[in-house]
């Protein structure tokens, strides 16, 4: 008999698994179908049905004889999804003792997003920030502390510590894994707040061919194509994406764009070969190129002049791997990563093509790692790893090529002592060429009170080494007129400026700057997952992060032109703490709701102590000077105390249309130090909260064609201090699966 797996909309579910007593598990094909001789079994025999992202289901042979179609319900909370990033070995969300979120391909599609930043902005507890590109905050910590992975390998190329999420296209993303809390125990530096693992598609069917086209506001065009084949142990998958936009401008009175016109190309190739169950070879390659052009205002001979700005960005990643599994309990994986990232920008005055500024930046990153997984018994899995990484940076802003090396070891033990308990312990030792040895431990535990209610808790340490920018930068923004020096070169740089008569006033003694200490953190995350019923799911996470030796930007001196000289030093002890809650409810198979809320409290403990010691003052509207009290202090800048989201999904059965209505709220936050006392303490320093509402509609046809359209930010809600929000935008698009179209 031919059995078909379908979702509530009647669409086939590919790659589901059917377990029949007495025979190996059967996998359905890309159309959700499988041939099974069920007439050979008694009618009361039960078959177990599994599919990623759907609730498990038991079906009797008698039921299948009446109707061979099996309807699976989507799993609320994605508990059935397998996550690779959390333990590097793969476990389902419901078995992980740490906070994890999974965004499936379907959830990504319903956002109507062109780039990764739009997808992540809709997730509870994540905030977009604008600084040298579009970055992210997690648990109140900036992009510097969030590790971005592509298929499990770290992506390089940060500007000012920020990883620009707009570099990542969504056209071939299969799912996104978000791990909350420090992950330095297995990933090292830059994972103090957590990590985001972007999983791209791999070849599963005999062959696939897909084309995709999308068009949106600001003449944004995204064209993509993919082609794949799998046969006789070989699999190959390729994807190409071309994105172009005219950018947007939130301040028409000033020259240039808020987001410059640009075009970007991304190409990815995956090749793999399996030799039975013992050997697997693979190589992934990715190439990215971006070009942008704009006009800017610049100072020339004490007058304002216009200049042309052009910028190029290139990136290349090559990741070969070998997996060797000599027997069921042992797995050896050898990985290599080679990455190259380059930016080049040129600014010239329009009047006579005179050079204003030229900057070149090139970064190389190499890593080799051997991981061993040993299954001690049915309840214990031991993972050991050893690796070496080398990073070098050559740039116009640096005097010479700078190189860091690091050797590391990590160990992880996963243990299920009983059906109710799940424990994961791990530690990593890094031996850094500049900062010596660093130990990052972590322990996580989960206790299942019932099948529907589980409690998770994790305690971990993290660290982050200073980067080249913070140590050795030598930068002059010619257009604006300020300087930025690394902590190890600021004293010499300021001395040269003083000799040239450019220093008007010293704000700090340059002699106190020097080598920076690595940042360290401790964090605790705890919460529960409660599947009240098949149609109601509640997920919570309470957290506290405490960071020591936080590297802070400081103004060293005021220049004669009114601008400043900046550098970096270890100053503050930072605490971020809060709670994140997600509730999902499905009153009907065609209708679902979800609501998310995040509360964040961020503090600089040194500032709090100085306020207690009456060291801070501010000027009132009446012109009098008063002391700042604890109730005035608003915490760290650019952090919203309250944020949240809601989502409504409805599938209209007659027309087959899918409707997705989503709201994203960001509460008020401090945008800048208006009164000049270097802390957030006045009502005039806050930007108003903003609620954006998005609507998208799509329809998927049986022949493999999917059409979509929508509007983001329906009410055109904007904030002058948020350059990531362009206001109301529209989009439409089409996705065509050629292999399904030809079969139909």
The enclosing domain of 69 has a CATH number of 2.60.40.1120
Burial of 417 (0-12, 13-18, 19+ CB in 10 A): exposed
Q: Does residue 22 sit within a domain?
A: yes
Q: Does residue 59 sit within a domain?
A: yes
Q: Does residue 344 sit within a domain?
A: no
Residue in the structure block whose two tokens are 């360290």: 520
Burial of 537 (0-12, 13-18, 19+ CB in 10 A): buried
Name the 3-class secondary structure at 681: coil
H or E stretch at 69: strand 69-71
Q: Does residue 327 sit within a domain?
A: no
How do beta strands 279-300 and 262-275 pair?
antiparallel
pLDDT of residue 702: 80
Q: How far apart are CA 509 and CA 677, in angstroms?
A: 18
437-452 residue pLDDT tens: 889 999 999 999 998 9
Name the 3-class secondary structure at 492: helix
Q: Does residue 16 sit within a domain?
A: yes
Q: How far apart are CA 113 and CA 105, in angstroms?
A: 12
Buried b (16+ CB within 10 A) or exposed e, 256-281: ebbbbbbebebebebbbebeeeeebe
**Chain centroid to CA 261: how far?**
24
Sign of CA dihedral 323, 324, 330, 332: negative
Please count the residues of the chain. 744
Q: What are the structure tokens assigned to 165, written together?
A: 């999420």
Decide: 470 and 516 in contact? Cβ < 8 Å: yes
Residue in the structure block whose two tokens are 């001395």: 495
φ and ψ of 496, to 5 deg: -65, -40
CB atoms within 10 A of CB 584: 20
Task: Tell which residue, 58, 59, 51, 49, has the closest CA to residue 19.
Answer: 49
Q: Does residue 612 sit within a domain?
A: no
Q: What are the structure tokens assigned to 690, written together?
A: 């903003």
Task: Tell which residue, 265, 240, 103, 242, has the closest CA to residue 172.
Answer: 240
pLDDT of residue 480: 60
Q: How far apart are CA 541 and CA 181, in angstroms?
A: 10
Domain that holds residue 8: 1-74
Q: What is the DSSP letter of 212?
A: E
Query: Residues near 615 by Cβ (< 8 Å), separated by ≥ 6?
Result: none
H or E stretch at 184: helix 184-187
Q: How far apart are CA 372 and CA 323, in angstroms?
A: 10
φ and ψ of 361, to 5 deg: -140, 130
Q: How far apart are CA 442 and CA 182, in angstroms?
A: 8
Q: How far apart are CA 503 and CA 495, in angstroms?
A: 9
pLDDT of residue 477: 66
Q: What is the largest CA-CA distance in the chain?
A: 95
Low-confidence residues in the chain, pLDDT < 70: 78, 131-133, 159-161, 477-481, 744
pLDDT of residue 30: 74
pLDDT of residue 161: 61
Angle at the Cα of 662 from the Cα atoms of 657 and 667, rounded to 5 degrees: 175
Q: Does residue 519 sit within a domain?
A: no
Task: Spell out the alpha helix ranges (H) of 466-624.
Answer: 468-472, 490-499, 605-612
Q: Does residue 56 sit within a domain?
A: yes
Number of structural domains found in the chain:
1
Task: Spell out the alpha helix ranges (H) of 382-520.
Answer: 468-472, 490-499
Q: Kindly report the pTM of this predicted structure.
A: 0.89
pLDDT of residue 109: 87
């Amino acid at each position: 008999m031919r059995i078909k797996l379908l979702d509530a909309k009647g669409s086939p579910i590919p790659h589901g698994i059917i377990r029949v007593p007495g025979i190996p598990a059967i996998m359905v094909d890309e159309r959700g179908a499988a041939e099974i001789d069920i007439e050979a079994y008694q009618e009361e025999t039960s078959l177990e049905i599994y599919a990623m992202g759907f609730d498990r289901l038991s079906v009797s042979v008698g039921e299948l004889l009446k109707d061979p179609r099996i309807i699976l319900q989507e799993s609320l909370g994605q508990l059935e999804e397998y996550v690779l990033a959390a333990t590097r070995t793969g476990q389902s969300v419901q078995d992980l003792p740490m906070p994890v979120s999974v965004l499936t391909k379907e959830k990504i599609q319903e956002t109507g997003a062109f780039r990764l930043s739009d997808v992540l902005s809709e997730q509870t507890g994540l905030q977009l920030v604008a600084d040298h590109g579009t970055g992210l905050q997690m648990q109140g910590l900036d992009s510097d502390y969030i590790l971005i992975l592509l298929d499990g390998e770290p992506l390089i190329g940060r500007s000012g510590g920020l990883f620009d999420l707009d570099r990542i296209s969504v056209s071939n993303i299969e799912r996104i894994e978000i791990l909350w809390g420090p992950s330095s125990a297995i990933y090292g530096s830059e994972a103090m707040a957590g990590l985001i693992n972007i999983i791209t598609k791999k070849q599963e069917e005999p062959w696939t061919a897909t084309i995709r086209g999308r068009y949106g506001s600001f003449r944004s065009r995204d064209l993509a194509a993919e082609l794949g084949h799998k046969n006789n142990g070989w699999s190959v998958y390729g994807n190409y994406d071309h994105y172009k936009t005219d950018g947007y401008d939130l301040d028409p009175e000033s020259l240039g764009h808020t987001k410059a016109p640009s075009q970007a190309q991304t190409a990815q190739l995956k090749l793999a070969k399996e030799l039975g169950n013992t050997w697997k070879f693979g190589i992934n390659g990715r190439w990215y190129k971006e070009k942008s052009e704009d006009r800017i205002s610049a100072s020339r001979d004490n007058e304002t002049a216009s200049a042309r700005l052009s910028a190029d960005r290139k990136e290349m990643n090559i990741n070969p791997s070998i997996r060797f599994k000599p027997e069921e309990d042992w797995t050896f994986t050898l990985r290599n990563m080679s990455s190259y990232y380059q930016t080049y920008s040129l600014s010239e005055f329009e009047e006579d093509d005179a050079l204003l500024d030229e900057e070149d930046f090139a970064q190389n990153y190499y890593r080799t790692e051997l991981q061993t997984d040993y299954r001690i018994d049915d309840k214990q899995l031991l993972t050991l790893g050893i690796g070496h990484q080398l990073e070098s940076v050559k740039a116009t802003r640096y005097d010479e090529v700078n190189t860091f090396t690091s050797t590391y070891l990590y160990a992880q033990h996963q243990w299920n002592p009983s059906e109710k308990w799940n424990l994961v312990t791990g530690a990593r030792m890094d031996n850094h060429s500049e900062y010596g040895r660093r130990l990052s431990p972590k322990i996580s535990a989960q206790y299942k009170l019932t099948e529907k209610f589980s409690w998770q808790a994790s305690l971990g340490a993290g660290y982050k080494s200073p980067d080249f920018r913070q140590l050795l930068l030598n930068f002059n923004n010619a257009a604006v007129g300020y300087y930025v020096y690394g902590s190890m070169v600021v004293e010499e740089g300021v001395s040269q400026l003083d000799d040239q008569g450019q220093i008007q006033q010293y704000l700090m003694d340059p002699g106190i700057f020097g080598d920076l200490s690595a940042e360290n953190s401790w964090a605790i995350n705890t919460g529960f997952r409660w599947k009240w019923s098949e149609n109601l799911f509640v997920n919570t996470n309470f957290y506290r992060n405490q960071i020591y030796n936080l590297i802070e930007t400081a103004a060293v001196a005021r220049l004669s032109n009114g601008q400043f000289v900046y550098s970096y030093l270890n100053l503050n002890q930072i605490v971020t703490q809060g709670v994140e809650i997600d509730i999902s409810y499905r009153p009907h198979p065609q209708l679902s709701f979800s609501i998310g809320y995040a509360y964040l409290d961020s503090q600089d403990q040194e500032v709090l102590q100085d306020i207690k010691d009456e060291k801070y003052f501010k000027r009132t509207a009446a012109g009098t000077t008063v002391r700042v009290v604890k109730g005035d202090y608003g915490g760290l800048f650019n952090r919203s105390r309250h944020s949240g989201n809601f989502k409504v999904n409805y599938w209209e059965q007659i027309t087959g249309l899918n409707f997705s209505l989503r709201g994203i709220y960001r509460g008020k936050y401090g945008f800048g130090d208006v009164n000049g006392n270097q802390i957030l303490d006045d009502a005039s320093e806050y930007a108003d909260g903003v609620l954006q509402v998005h609507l998208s509609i799509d329809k998927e046809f049986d022949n493999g064609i999917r059409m979509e359209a929508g509007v983001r930010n329906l009410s055109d809600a904007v904030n002058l201090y948020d350059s990531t929000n362009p206001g109301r935008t529209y989009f439409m698009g089409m996705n065509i699966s050629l292999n399904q179209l030809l079969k139909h």
